[in-house]
Amino acid sequence: MQPTRLAQQTAPTVVESGQALANRRIPDGRPTHNDHRKPGDVTESNWAANLDYAATAVHRPVSVEEVQELVAAHPRVRPLGTRHSFTDIADSPGGILISLEDLPADIQVDHDAGTVSVNPGTTYAVLAGRLEEEGLALPNLASLPHISIGGAIATATHGSGDTNGILATSVAAIEVVRGDGSLTRVDRTSTDLPALAVGLGAFGVYTRVELDVEPTYAVAQHIYTNASWESTIEDLDEIMASAYSVSLLGDIGASRMRNLWLKHKIGREPRGFPSTIHGGSRIDDTALPHGHSLTRIGGVPGPWSRRMAHFRPDAPPSAGGDELQTEYFVDRRHGRDAMRVLRSMGDRISPHLRAMEIRSLAADDLWLSPAYRRPSLCLGFTWHKHPEAVEALLPEIEAALDDFEPRPHWGKLFALGDLADRFPRLGDFLGLAAAYDTTRTFWNPFMDRLAGSREVGTR
């Protein structure tokens, strides 16, 4: 076993005492509370601060070799992205976390192959800027570009669009540091890639990811406010197909939605832009509050890199962290009914809801993608930071949606227990993860719950 070496600029950070670690239990994907934190405590939290990591240190290696040494030297490890997940998926209680933020981005474009290779600790904001300079693009982005590529693909992060897959569908190859410190490359010639692409951090630390790219394109965004939920639901298929990427945002319990957000790919959709849709009026930037964090709207065309995310990279996204999030994916054919069920629960949901965001996705073949073999409607909830209320509500919502077999977003809060019937390749995934990680270095409580067992293997 090789000696541990820390990046010079980073001392290991003790996050909690051993007793605090032993006492802490996070039920499923549900919120934890940081009430035990006192001013002056040294803690490492996720972005929304609803979770203190129970790992003992965050390491920031500056080379792949250093990642290999760290992994080989530690019995418990988990890769860490930009910490935007709300669940404990990125945690490693008693172990270490490895962040690749100090590893050079090393963005290498291969115009002939139509791919880009990058350190997956890099954010989409950085990658998108560089691709734009090269005249290239990704097909889609999430609502925020602040997240790392490795963290986003691991949890099946997605944007919207009937013809768009989750971000991990662009993955062409991965280099992974496995539990023994060895480096393995997996590309499309391997049947393992559809498992590793949405890998939950269970296969090892990805130190290189190759993504498909396409020629750059321009996008114009239109937002309509106060469209009717009922008539939009009635017309759901047409609305979701009316632009390259469509989002419905607002209080599902209200009669009118806050924003109907259309991202048009210039030159793709021939139709014009009506001034009203389902009673909603088109607005431009002047209608947004001063200091807003959104990318340019009002139909002003711009490069994909500055339109496909809702939030600008230079401003805090969403509610700035004063929030919790949950998301379920249902088969598109149940979309309308699922939305109506949620509307009927408005009196329970609305008091805790900042906004819902409803998006669509194409089906894919990635084993743990919530859109696996199902064109999907994504039912996203951004909650007020009401952890107890949200924790109580999630099983209620999941029971109400049960007929539609909802699949949860891995990075957002959920209560669902046995997920084997929801993810048909879950057993294969766990078997392959165990084969890649024979020492169970990357196993954590989130994996434990996924496997339906509280038992954690020893090294």
CA distance 139 to 136: 10
Q: Closest Cα to residue 196, out of 389, 443, 432, 354?
A: 432
What residues does 205 pair with on adjacent strands? 177
Shortest approach of ligand FAD to residue 404 CB, angstroms? Answer: 19
Which span sits near ligand FAD by CB under 6 A: 79-87, 108-116, 218-226, 345-353? 79-87
Looking at the Cβ atoms of 47 and 404, the one nearer to ligand FAD is: 47
Q: Please say whether the beta carbons of 385 and 323 come within 8 A.
A: yes
- Asked if 164 interacts with ligand FAD (CB under 6 A), we say no
Footprint of ligand FAD on 88-107 (CB under 6 A) = 89-90, 100
Among the listed residues 53, 124, 206, 328, the single contact to ligand FAD using CB under 6 A:
206
For ligand FAD, the binding residue among 30, 74, 76, 83 (CB under 6 A) is 83
Please, what is the minimum distance in Å from the beta carbon of residue 205 to ligand FAD? Answer: 5
Interface residues for ligand FAD in 282-301 (CB under 6 A)? Answer: none
Which of 84, 306, 354, 440 touches ligand FAD by CB under 6 A? 84
Q: Please, which residues have CB within 8 angstroms of residue 242's CB and are 6 or more apart in sequence?
A: 262, 269, 271
Q: What is the DSSP letter of 294?
A: B
Residues 6+ apart with CB under 8 A from 236: 335, 336, 339, 377
Q: Give Cα separations from 169 to 239, 296, 322, 326 (angstroms).
A: 24, 27, 30, 22
Please tell me what DSSP assigns to residue 435. Answer: H
Using alpha carbons only, how large is the chain's radius of gyration in Å?
21
- What is the pattern of x (binds ligand FAD, CB under 6 A) and - over residues 100-139? x-------------------xx------------------
Amino acid identity, residue 12? P
Alpha-carbon span 129 to 115, nearest angstrom? 15
Helix (H, G, I), strand (E, B) or coil at 393: helix
Chain positions 405 to 434 lying near ligand FAD, rule: CB under 6 A, are: 409, 411
CB of 93 to ligand FAD, least distance (A): 13
Q: How many CB atoms lie within 10 A of CB 449?
A: 20
- Give the alpha-carbon dihedral of 447, 356, 247, 233, to 10 degrees: 110
Q: List binders of ligand FAD among 324-343 (CB under 6 A).
A: 325
318 interacts with ligand FAD by CB under 6 A: yes
According to the binding rule CB under 6 A, does residue 150 interact with ligand FAD?
yes
Binders in 371-390 for ligand FAD, by CB under 6 A: none
Stretch that binds ligand FAD, among 199-207, 254-262, 269-277, 286-294 (CB under 6 A): 199-207
152 is an interface residue for ligand FAD by CB under 6 A: yes
Structure tokens at 93: 């209680």
Give 142 or 278: the residue with its C-beta nearer to ligand FAD. Answer: 142
Where on the chain is the footprint of ligand FAD (CB under 6 A)? 47-48, 78-85, 89-90, 100, 120-121, 142-144, 147-148, 150-152, 154-155, 157-158, 200-201, 205-206, 317-318, 325, 409, 411
